[in-house]
Amino acid sequence: MLNIQELEKRWLKYKIKTYFPYAVIFISLTVIITIISIFATSNVEKTPVMATKPKKHEKKKIVAIQSPQKEQNISTQKKSTTTQIQTVTSIEDTKLTLSPSINFMKHTKNIEQQPYYKVTSSVKKSTKKREKIVQQASIEEEYMDLGEENQIKKKTIKKESALKPYKKQTITIERRDSQNDIKKIIARFKKSNNPALSLFVAKKYYELGNYEQAYNYALITNAINNDIEDSWLVFTKSLVKLNKKNMAIRTLMEYIKYSHSGSARILLDDIQSGKFK
Amino acid sequence: MESIFVNSKNVFLDTANPKDYIRLDRASVIYQSLKDSIEKPLKMILLYGKPGTGKSMFLTKLSLDSADKKNVFLYDTPILDESEFYKRLAQDVFKTKYEGGLNFTQFMRIVKDKNLNQVPVVLLDEAQLYSEELMEKIRLLSDTRALKFVIALHKTEKEDLIAKEHFQTRIWETIELENSLRAELKMYIQKKLMKANCFDTASMFNSKIVNKIYKLTHGNYRDTNKLLYGLFEIYITYEKNNQLYSIKIDQISTKFIEMAAIHTGLIDA
């Protein structure tokens, strides 16, 4: 006759022994999962802060891309061919406005055909319901040709590329009529009171033959900053064109006394000799 | 009315009774090859395998099956004394009673004098228990072709050595017995039970239960018999204590199998 009670005790002991490793694994896994979940929840609390950072970064990225675009467009203008511009990815609609840099004067001086850029970027969200959302961003570029009269070109560069499989952007660069541009720049000058803008307007009016306005804006520029040589030159050239040659000569002479400018001296000689009329 | 578990328990009593022999495909093929080997002009046949693989059962069955055809003599218990071994052989095989001690030379003389028409077959079980000296004598006896030996021994390193030293240069056949496979074990259990008309208990052994048994016994017939004997003993005890109501009757309880394994020492708990 078997001692069943004893055998059952031994069996229970054996079962506990058998399940012990599984119990240890289960408990340790539970502990690990608990620890991980605690860490995960603590990270979730931080995520909103983390989430805002990439947005800022995204904006910066867009701004950073503008300057290469600028350079690219210069070469585009020279070659008169369309150029592909880097695509900017943006989830939300963004409008970017580039203000003229302080180096603007140098550019206008060295490169006669240096365009002035107004770059706006906007992302158009597709209103159609599609599985793939395609966004288009357009950048319009406007420029004024300073070297050649009425040589205004309109150029549209479009590029659609898919950085992400479901998002596309189009960058459009357009050159518009200079009359409208002058108005816009005047408006901006009124806001910013930037002498570079007023000088640009003066030069543009001079090129268009509006010498009175050129005189006015050269004078305004000079009032803001009398160290800008070009404002003196445009001012005196405008005086000559307005048949105020003597006044122009007197002004230049005073400026030469003050600045000893070579360019001013050459212009004075040209006016006096009659080369410049 | 006797409990079904009592009958089932008795089925698994560990005996080498040829009546309890269960025909399994693989075992039947091996047994047939052993029978064929006896017909061949071989001096010695080596039957080896792990304990509990059915060597003794094979020899017993062979002895029974060949009783009316051949001079087959089974020695299931080793005769360790050399003189006694010769005397038993002289008496059983050659019908010669010998008083006092009988040495190898004297026995050889008896063998030559008798010169039987049909070569007697001597089946020696548990041959690993014979001394090396006696094994060498058995080898010499087989060389005379006056006697044919079927030697069953456990497969261990030591027995392999015996096989090398004593039998390697002789014309002999080796037959290895192995543990059963899973499918064979299920058939073995069910056939064994059904042979004893224990159909109810036979149906309680499904594949899951047999797998559990196989895990514990590795298909060894002796261990399986021991385990199932213990298992039905547990069932009987529970039945007597009226505790079976809490146990499923449609299939064998794994708890009881584990308890039987603990009881028989297959599980160290």
Q: How many Å apart are CA A124 and CA B217, to the nearest integer?
A: 76
Residue A123 lies in a domain: yes
Residues 6+ positions from B20 with CB-CB distance below 8 Å: B11, B57, B192, B195
Taking only the tens place, the pLDDT of each residue in A150-160 is 444 444 444 44
By DSSP bridging, strand A167-170 and strand A160-164 are antiparallel
Asked if A10 and B241 come within 8 Å (Cβ–Cβ), the reply is no
- A10 reaches B (C-beta below 8 A): yes
Residue A3 lies in a domain: no
In chain A, which residue's Cα lies nearest the Cα of B231? Answer: A2
Question: Which pLDDT band, with edges at 50, 70 and 90, does A35 fall under?
Answer: very high
As a dihedral over the C-alpha atoms of residue A223, residue A226, residue A230, residue A235, rounded to 10 degrees, the angle is 50
Below-70 pLDDT ranges, chain B = 1-2, 70, 156-171
- Which A residues in the span 100-159 are in contact with B, Cβ-Cβ below 8 Å? none
Domain count, chain A: 2
In this structure, what CATH number is given to the domain that contains residue A250? Answer: 1.25.40.10
Asked if A11 and B269 come within 8 Å (Cβ–Cβ), the reply is yes
Among A170, A203, A223, give the residue marking a domain's end: A170
Mean pLDDT on A210-223: 90
Of B233, B241, B255, the CB nearest to A11: B255
- Whether B142 contacts B111, CB under 8 Å: no
pLDDT at B125: 92
pLDDT at A81: 41
Taking only the tens place, the pLDDT of each residue in A53-63 is 444 444 444 44
Same domain for A110 and A127?
Answer: yes
Same domain for A257 and A183?
Answer: yes
Distance to chain A for B230, nearest Cα, Å: 9
> When comparing pLDDT for A222 and A136, which is higher?
A222
Q: How many Å apart are CA A60 and CA A177, to the nearest integer?
A: 31
Residue A106 lies in a domain: yes
What's the token pair of residue A149?
Answer: 């009269």
Question: Which pLDDT band, with edges at 50, 70 and 90, does A144 fall under?
Answer: very low
Question: Which pLDDT band, with edges at 50, 70 and 90, does A47 fall under?
Answer: low
What residues of A are in contact with residue B263 (Cβ under 8 Å)? Answer: 2, 7
Residue A1 lies in a domain: no
What residues of B are in contact with residue A8 (Cβ under 8 Å)? Answer: 259
pLDDT at A84: 44
- Whether A87 contacts A169, CB under 8 Å: yes
Question: Which pLDDT band, with edges at 50, 70 and 90, does A29 fall under?
Answer: very high
Place of tokens 């070579």: A262
**Which one of B235, B257, B259, B266 makes the best mutation probe of the A interface by having the most chain A beta carbons within 10 Å?**
B259
Residue A2 lies in a domain: no
- Whether A268 contacts A249, CB under 8 Å: yes
Asked if A2 and B233 come within 8 Å (Cβ–Cβ), the reply is yes
- A164 reaches B (C-beta below 8 A): no
Of B237, B258, B267, the CB nearest to A4: B237
Q: Which domain holds residue A129?
A: 69-170
pLDDT at A34: 94
What b/e string do you get for A156-175 counting C-beta neighbours within 10 Å, with b at 16 or more? Answer: ebebeeeeeeebbbbbbbeb
Taking only the tens place, the pLDDT of each residue in A231-263 is 899 999 998 988 888 888 888 888 888 888 888
Among A147, A170, A193, give the residue marking a domain's end: A170
Same domain for A153 and A221?
Answer: no
As a dihedral over the C-alpha atoms of residue A191, residue A196, residue A197, residue A200, rounded to 10 degrees, the angle is 170
pLDDT at B20: 81
Residue A33 lies in a domain: no
Of B238, B241, B262, the CB nearest to A10: B262
pLDDT at A153: 44
Residue A220 lies in a domain: yes
pLDDT at B73: 92
What's the token pair of residue A92?
Answer: 């939300």
pLDDT at A167: 53
Among A111, A141, A170, give the residue marking a domain's end: A170
Residue A244 lies in a domain: yes
- What does each C-alpha distance from B167 to A164, A190, B38, B142 come to in angstroms? 81, 120, 16, 10
pLDDT at A106: 55
Mean pLDDT on A85-113: 47
In chain A, which residue's Cα lies nearest the Cα of B263? Answer: A7
What residues of B are in contact with residue A7 (Cβ under 8 Å)? Answer: 234, 259, 262-263
Taking only the tens place, the pLDDT of each residue in A98-111 is 444 555 555 555 54
pLDDT at B163: 58
What residues of A are in contact with residue B269 (Cβ under 8 Å)? Answer: 10-11, 13-14, 17
Question: Which pLDDT band, with edges at 50, 70 and 90, does A82 fall under?
Answer: very low
Same domain for A121 and A97?
Answer: yes
Q: How many Å apart are CA A149 and CA A235, to the nearest integer?
A: 19
